[in-house]
Amino acid sequence: MGRRKGADMGRLEGKAALVTGGSGGIGSATLRRFAREGAALVCADLQQESGEKLVAELNAGGARAVFRRCDVGDFDQVQAAVETTVSEFGRIDILFNNAASSSGGYTADLDLEEWDRSLRVMLSAALYGMKAAIPHMERQGGGSIVSTSSIYGLVANPGIAPYCTAKAGLINLTRTAAVEYGRKNIRVNAICPGVVETPMFDAVLSMGLKSREQVADMHALGRTIQPEEIADLVLFLASDESSAITGQAIVIDGGLLSSCDLTGTPPAA
């Protein structure tokens, strides 16, 4: 990562960031965005091949990045990823809790082991990251924690109770940590994406219940969201530009939740 000076200095210059679920759609877009802004990076993911390939790409572009294989459902592995960040770069300024994995099914039919696993990966894992990273952030004078919730942390959909429950819990974990550590200069926020063009969305489309065009038409913008647009929001929350923002769950959904159309009235031509 080459040092940039003056007006060209990156918005994350001198900061170190850990991104879980780093090789996925939102994770990889965010790591690339962070790299362009000067951050030193740890990509944590279970998918070793894709994670190492991404890190090689980042380093070839002039970043300082390392890969850490990590099952975020295991506290010891999350703690090890945090310690890797500190040992490699001397600090951890940004923690992006982004990993996700969820089973489905109607509530009364859920497999209880899959339920527990989903909550560990999407809710407990964020707590694990906070528990491991916050002491370092306290000692160094502050930091920013961002977690990926979802619009399904705010509304429900049949057949995905583990996902909806974990994402809703993540929002209030975010608020709680924000009020606990705000005076330590540690900001904690969540993002609530809508439909993002990632492999997870492709998996939903493969069920054949709605077409890509039908889903796009549900949005006020008339389109779905790109991972890079999510990365821009995460960058803002990670940077000093959002220094007064904490305890928030910020929706980024192209206007999907803004409409409840009962009349069929078309949007303006």
Residues annotated as catalytic are: 163
Instruction: Tell me which long-range contacts 30-33 makes (C-beta under 8 A, separation of at least 24).
Output: 30/96, 30/98, 30/227, 30/230, 30/231, 30/234, 30/235, 31/58, 31/65, 32/58, 32/231, 33/228, 33/231, 33/232, 33/234, 33/235
Residue the block writes with tokens 């409409």:
259
In whole angstroms, what is the distance from residue 153 CA to residue 40 CA?
31
- List, in order, residues 6 or more apart from 110 with CB less than 8 Å away: 103, 161, 162
